[in-house]
Chain A
Amino acid sequence: ETGVTQTPRHLVMGMTNKKSLKCEQHLGHNAMYWYKQSAKKPLELMFVYNFKEQTENNSVPSRFSPECPNSSHLFLHLHTLQPEDSALYLCASSQVTGEGYTFGSGTRLTVV
């Protein structure tokens, strides 16, 4: 495996369900990110982790709970989501500031 891998690619969940998104990077990067991409809106930064420590929480509702057990893995735990949370959730990683991100293919989430 190379690059940034996200699983699952597609997820449909009810508003009372609990699910988790997984991201794994094989690039030796030390920072990982969660972004939300909704139709006709800019990419929204949700969380930033630098060397496993959360360095930014961009006013994300508590129904989204991130976890970063090590520099290679990032999770997004979901519970009691709303239909408006349906979006493409993108994970990214980077080595050092200024070099840009490498994105995964995303998880297409639909909340019903």
Chain B
Amino acid sequence: GQQLNQSPQSMFIQEGEDVSMNCTSSSIFNTWLWYKQDPGEGPVLLIALYKAGELTSNGRLTAQFGITRKDSFLNISASIPSDVGIYFCAGQAGTYKYIFGTGTRLKVLA
């Protein structure tokens, strides 16, 4: 079945550092999404990507839709303590259906 592999699984960074994470698949997707989940809450959509090669920003967050359509990347610049949480990628696997990655757990050290 379709799977999304996210790396790293977890990371500790110092406040102010830039963060990079990625999501890869053996399948092609037409849409990639990035979500963040805070403890005790549901995931919140950060960025949506609809076109191969697309680079989209949302504040300090930048995401890219890989040219092969099998991967996507998320960068966070100048991290702050509230960036802590779990970041999920998701690829559109069919009408009304998304496949989610295993998540990258981010911890920011002040």
Contacts and interface: CB of A to CB of B under 8 A. Distances in A.
Given A42-B4, A50-B96, A55-B96, A102 B45 contact: yes
A42 B42 contact: no
A99 B32 CA distance: 10
Contacts, number: 58
B102 A42 contact: yes
A3 to B, nearest CB: 9
A97 to B, nearest CB: 5
B92 A43 contact: no
Contacts of B31: 98, 100
Interface size of A as a range = 20 to 34
Given A48-B97, A103-B43, A106-B42, A98 B102 contact: no
B95 interface: yes
B74 interface: no
Q: Which 8 A-B pairs have the closest CB atoms?
A: A103-B42, A43-B100, A100-B33, A42-B100, A31-B96, A97-B95, A100-B45, A105-B42
Given A31-B96, A41-B102, 12 more contacts: A42-B3, A42-B100, A42-B101, A42-B103, A45-B97, A90-B42, A97-B92, A98-B30, A98-B92, A100-B48, A103-B42, A104-B42
